[in-house]
Structure 1
Amino acid sequence: MNNAAQLFNGKLKSLVDQLNGKLRDVRFVYVNIFGIGSGDPRAAGFKVTNVGCCPVNSGGQCVLSGTPCPNRNEYVFWDSFHPTEAVNQITARRSYTALDPSDTHPIVISHLAKLKL
């Protein structure tokens, strides 16, 4: 699955380049979510990386009547696949600042926000 995602993302970057070349009134930016999320979550302060914050049903989603954990910022996932707000904040920060050069392509979101189109 990871190899397929990386192959897709590589082609997506070239599509972003093509679209930016053809459509002059818009700017497309690729955000490397796969790369941003590939590090060790414990290094970012997460303590629970292998289970979700809420009780889940057989489909992997939170049970409607279930009580989520009180320490949500320590969890990577809400349920079996949805990231917590803490993960989304890290992703947003990295997308905006491009902590690593591979985080965004072809421009950092903070630079995009300053462009006069």
Structure 2
Amino acid sequence: MRFLMQAAINMAVFLACALLFPTGFYLDNMLVAAVAAIILALLNGLIKPVLLILSLPLLVISLGSFSLIINAAMLEMTALFVPGFGFASFWWSFVVALILTLANLVFMDQKNIHIRRQ
């Protein structure tokens, strides 16, 4: 279920970014957005943990902000696999990675926090 939610959020962000940044982010149609969202969710599940472990010293030094660079690299890798999905430069993929990170932070229920009032 988490995989489907992740893919749906990715697809929504891709569609929104295609409307917001037409010169820096290329997206042919909704089907391409769906395929790219599924591929990105797969890459995030399979390859991203390895990259996070390999870049652990950089993550510690940068206090975790290097993970945005890893997210941008994952988007660039997705663009290699999906025709009709791409970026004008690495910085455009960084902007989309930042928006994806914020969207996942808001919409993904990673931990249930229950506050009891006493």
Compute the TM-score of the two structures, normalised by the length of structure 1.
Answer: 0.35
Larger RCO, structures 1/2 (Cα 8 Å, 6+ apart): 2
- Judging by fraction of residues, say which structure has more strand: 1
- Judging by fraction of residues, say which structure has more helix: 2
Compute the TM-score of the two structures, normalised by the length of structure 2.
Answer: 0.35
